[in-house]
Amino acid sequence: MVRQIRIKRDTVHLATHHHDDALGAITVTVTTPPGTEDANVVTWGPAGRYTLALPTGTPRESFSRAIDEWLAAIATGQPHELGARYGRHLVAVLDAAERCLASGCTTTPS
């Protein structure tokens, strides 16, 4: 289930309810004052709280890293954990969020 609300200017808050009853929250904006940019991912559950390390570097370095991982998946025959199936699901969630933002609904991604 996805529920999305526009907070202020371009700030959007996305609340998710997963199949295993886990909950998620995402807040995004692109109009932050210079020097206040931040990106972080924190998960928590019965085992406690965990902050994920995010990749750093330039867009070129990120793209190069993605290509290297893609080539490794091809070479080993092991699908990447963020492969096509994950991408399809992510697009469905983003589509549901966009529809909710436009209509104020709560929906389930297809």
Please list the pLDDT of the chain residue by residue as tens digits (110 residues): 555 555 566 777 788 877 787 788 887 777 777 777 777 788 877 788 888 777 777 878 888 988 999 899 999 999 888 788 888 888 888 888 888 877 777 666 76
Q: Is 4 exposed, middle or buried (0-12, 13-18, 19+ CB in 10 A)?
A: buried
The radius of gyration of the chain's CA atoms, rounded to the nearest angstrom, is 17
Structure confidence at residue 75 (pLDDT): 95
Structure confidence at residue 33 (pLDDT): 77
Structure confidence at residue 31 (pLDDT): 78
Structure confidence at residue 39 (pLDDT): 76
Measure Cα distances from 14 to 45, 83, 103 in Å.
19, 23, 14
Structure confidence at residue 50 (pLDDT): 82
H helices then E strands: how many in the chain? 2, 6
Structure confidence at residue 8 (pLDDT): 61
